[in-house]
Amino acid sequence: MRIKKCVSGDLIPYSKEAFRTVFAQYEAIIAVMACGIVVRELAPLLDDKWTDPPVVVVDAGLNYAIALCGGHHGANELAQRLAGTGAHPVITTATESLGRPSVEGTSQVLGCDIVNRDSTRAVNSHLLKSDLPVIEIHGPKVVVVDADVSVLQKKAGEGKTGVIVGIGTRRNVSSGNVVNAIQTALSECGLSMEDVELFASADVKEHEAGLIEAVSSIGGHIVFVSGDVINSINPPSDSEARRLGLAGVCEPAALALSREHNLIMKKKVYNNVTIAIAR
């Protein structure tokens, strides 16, 4: 099945109890069936968007991947990954639909938890109209905020704290080409996949099937950085992406997610793929 090439997981045959079972046991759900069936089955199970698993509905012809529930909590990203099947991602959350950032997206990029979740309603509403600063405060300090200020706290002691691999690609690049480029670049720096925290690219690449499939096949996670963030960074190398209105792709994407904002490998070209590595 083409879906299995983009995401890993179990195949659960449909039954009257299937949704109740998977809703309690799985981190995310891809339902290959009509939206109406999914809505009726999910309705009595939904409780809280912060704890419910994200749900994506895919039609039997793999034409559309619809982020039905939990858009900001994994469904949007999952729908975009399913673009690797040829399905068109359908995303209706307001910020994404209008090409605007969200608190949830920012927290994911920065590796943070949202402390005061109720604040996201007001902040996301404001982000629909204009940008807001992201202010990093180092402690020890006491911070007092209003109800319309979202507080993001860095996750402590969770996951990897390794390098960020920035990736740029030509259109319609093959997944094998991307995997070979990643492995070669890491090897040249004396690194391995175990040293990688995240992969990064520009959001203009978020539907590039070969890129998405490649990162998924090696068990990685990719973050697509917005053009506004990309252009806030001055990368050391020239880039053909300037023709698209971007300062670059692999270098600024890697730097945007890095902790030390330091490139340990500037942009290198491997056939149709460019790689930069930041720490």
Q: Does domain 2-92 have CATH number 3.40.50.11220?
A: yes
Is the full-model pTM beyond 0.85? no
The answer to whether the beta carbons of residues 31 and 55 sit under 8 Å apart is yes
Domain spanning 163-278: which CATH class is it, in words?
A: alpha beta
* Span 174-187, pLDDT tens digits: 999 999 999 999 99
* Span 117-153, pLDDT tens digits: 999 999 999 999 887 877 777 768 888 999 999 999 8
Segment 206-222 mean pLDDT? 88
249: which DSSP letter? Answer: S
Chain position carrying tokens 């930069």: 276
- Residue 91 pLDDT more than 90? yes
The answer to whether the beta carbons of residues 269 and 237 sit under 8 Å apart is no
What is the pLDDT, as a whole number, of residue 159?
46
How far apart, in whole angstroms, are the C-alpha atoms of residue 160 and residue 222? Answer: 14
Average pLDDT, the chain: 89
How far apart, in whole angstroms, are the C-alpha atoms of residue 272 and residue 260? Answer: 28
Could you tell me the residue ranges of all domains in the chain?
2-92, 98-154, 163-278
The answer to whether the bond into 13 is cis (omega within 30° of 0) is no
